[in-house]
Amino acid sequence: MAIEKTINIDVNSKKAQKDVKNLEKSIEGVNKEVKDTTQSTQAMSGTLDKATGGAVSKFNGLKGTLKGVITSFKSLNIKRRIAFVIHFLITRTIRRIGKRR
């Protein structure tokens, strides 16, 4: 048979609440800095893009395309297919070398 007991705990949480409020203020400050950094980075990349004749935007486009290709390869389970093709080519090459002897 189980024994049930009730325990009352009195906790002083004033310091914890103060620390949480300080943490919230710090996070708000970081969020503001991130927004400022994002805006300045966008302005800088626009200026750099103009200076390089659009190379930055073309590179970003290439990066997006490569991400799409990589995602497609993952969805096609390309690793297994590549392994199969490599195995097939090695096997065929070994057979051809054996026939030449």
| pLDDT 10s digits, 42-93 | 777 778 778 878 877 777 777 778 777 767 666 666 666 777 777 788 888 8
Determine whether 99 is exposed, middle or buried from the number of CB atoms within 10 Å of its CB (0-12, 13-18, 19+): exposed
- The residue type of 11 is V
Please answer whether residues 47 and 56 qualify as being in contact, where contact means their C-beta atoms are separated by less than 8 angstroms: no
Residues 71 and 99 in one domain: yes
Residues 69 and 47 in one domain: no
Neighbouring C-alpha atoms within 13 Å toward the C-beta of 90: 6
Q: Where in the sequence is the domain holding 80, given as residue range(s)? A: 65-101
Residue 42 within any structural domain of the chain? yes
Question: What's the total number of domains in the chain?
Answer: 2
Residue 70 within any structural domain of the chain? yes
Residue 60 within any structural domain of the chain? no
Residues 45 and 74 in one domain: no
Residue 56 within any structural domain of the chain? no
Residue 3 clears pLDDT 80, i.e. is over it = yes
pTM above 0.85, yes or no: no
Query: Could you give the residue ranges of the DSSP H alpha helices within 1-101?
Result: 14-51, 55-75, 78-100
